[in-house]
Structure 1
Amino acid sequence: MNICLIGMPSSGKSVLGKMLAKKRRMRFLDLDTLIQENTGKLLREIIAEEGREGFLRIEEEAGASLSVENTVISPGGSICYGERAMKHLREISKVIFLHVPYEEMEKRIGDPVKRGVAIPEGFTLKDLYEERTALYRKYAEFTLEEENLSAEECLEKLMQYLDRI
């Protein structure tokens, strides 16, 4: 079984994903890293060169073509826009939404542009958060509410959920 962690940038997909993979003796795959390795470019360079839509196409293709087993998958925050990718990820994994309150995410994220966040023209970070949160909830089989929890407490809640299914 694969596990896919979705959520906003800074929600802990990579940190919790690595912890979860180690605890469950699984591999860990960061989809953003895979895209960067395949293109030889940083995410912000891809967005600058290809535009937001071009980047989303590249991300969707990467997510839709994944073929892995016994892996914790950590896609980028914008994977939720790729319906084909999300359908595929739901077929090959348990999709879990890591939900962080807006104020906490805003503190953690720093500069969204430097972070390579694909924000639509005219959108604020809050607009993006609200739009994506609805999509994450649509695709997730389980939502982990991270508010006031440490990484270790989040990991424990993930383990409890996965042990039940």
Structure 2
Amino acid sequence: MAPSVCLIGLPGSGKSTIGRQLARLWGVDFVDSDHVIEAQLGCSIKEYFSAHGEQAFRDVEAQVIATLATRERACILSTGGGAVLRPENRAVLHAHTTVFYLQSSPEDIARRLRNDTGRPLLQGDDTLKRLKDLLAVRAALYEETAHYRIDTLRCGTGQVMRKVSMQAELAGLVPELSPTSAGSAASPR
């Protein structure tokens, strides 16, 4: 099985944006677990959440994560922000992919997502408070799952991508993924 890179972090931390760019750079597939889930469900996550609740969604998410993390072909996998809530997801991601935690501040994310209506857990009047609450629950889970932590504070998309790419190169992943690499530094866990 080829090595895959997985991006985790709070909703809005840049996982999909960075993932797409890394996949292009390295010439591998980009897979967004939320898009795979929506295709499987035949509706949006928001609609499924409303109709069936979070627990039913997390059941589907766990099945999709297990399949994607163990696929034969290398990819950049972006997960939903809550994928780390289930122990089985944390275990399969850590064991079968190289996991990068995109560590973003709730304040930065709230500013970026102020007009976003597609994220069910961030709806309501106080997105910043909700993000802080999510981080309080999930921060240790992100840390437990990740092989590397990438601090995104005051970084543009290109800077974050270079940090992930450099750490992947240092870890010996880039030659296995593709002959292309780029650089900057990241902090190992």
TM superposition score normalised by structure 1: 0.91
The answer to whether the 8 A contact 1:63-1:86 is kept is: no
**Structure 2 vs 1, CA of residues 112 and 74 (structure 1 numbering), >3 Å: closer, same or farther?**
same
Name which of 37, 40, 51 aligns with 1:38. 40
Please tell me the residue identity of whatever aligns with 2:162: E
Q: CA deviation at 1:30?
A: 0.5
1:129 alignment counterpart: 135
Alignment of 1:68-107 (within 5 A): 68=71, 69-107=73-111
Using a 3 Å threshold, how does the CA distance of structure 1 residues 82 and 23 change in structure 2: closer, same or farther? same
Give, in whole Å, the separation in 1 of the partners of 2:50 and 2:117. 10
**Letter aligned with residue 21 of structure 2:** M
**Which is bigger in relative contact order (C-alpha 8 A, separation at least 6)?**
1
Q: Distance in 1 between matches of 2:166 and 2:118?
A: 35
Q: Considering only CA atoms, is the larger Rg found in Structure 1 or Structure 2?
A: 2
Larger mean CA deviation between 30-39 and 67-76 belongs to 67-76
Q: Structure 1 residue 111: deviation in Å?
A: 6.1
- Tell me the secondary structure at the aligned position of residue 137 of structure 1: helix
3-state SS of 2:163 partner = helix
Percent identical:
26
Q: CA deviation at 1:117?
A: 2.7
CA contact (8 A) 2:19 2:78 kept: yes
Displacement of 1:112: 7.0
Q: Indicate whether 1:59 and 2:65 are aligned.
A: no
Mind listing any 5+ residue stretches in structure 1 that lack a counterpart?
Answer: none
Q: Distance in 1 between matches of 2:7 and 2:63?
A: 18
* Root-mean-square deviation over aligned CA pairs: 1.8
Please tell me whether residue 153 in structure 1 is matched to residue 159 in structure 2. yes
Residue in 2 aligned with 1:2?
Answer: 4
CA gap of 1:118–1:65, structure 2 versus 1, over 3 A, is: farther
CA distance in 2, matches of 1:112, 1:59: 22
Change beyond 3 A, Cα 1:133–1:139: same
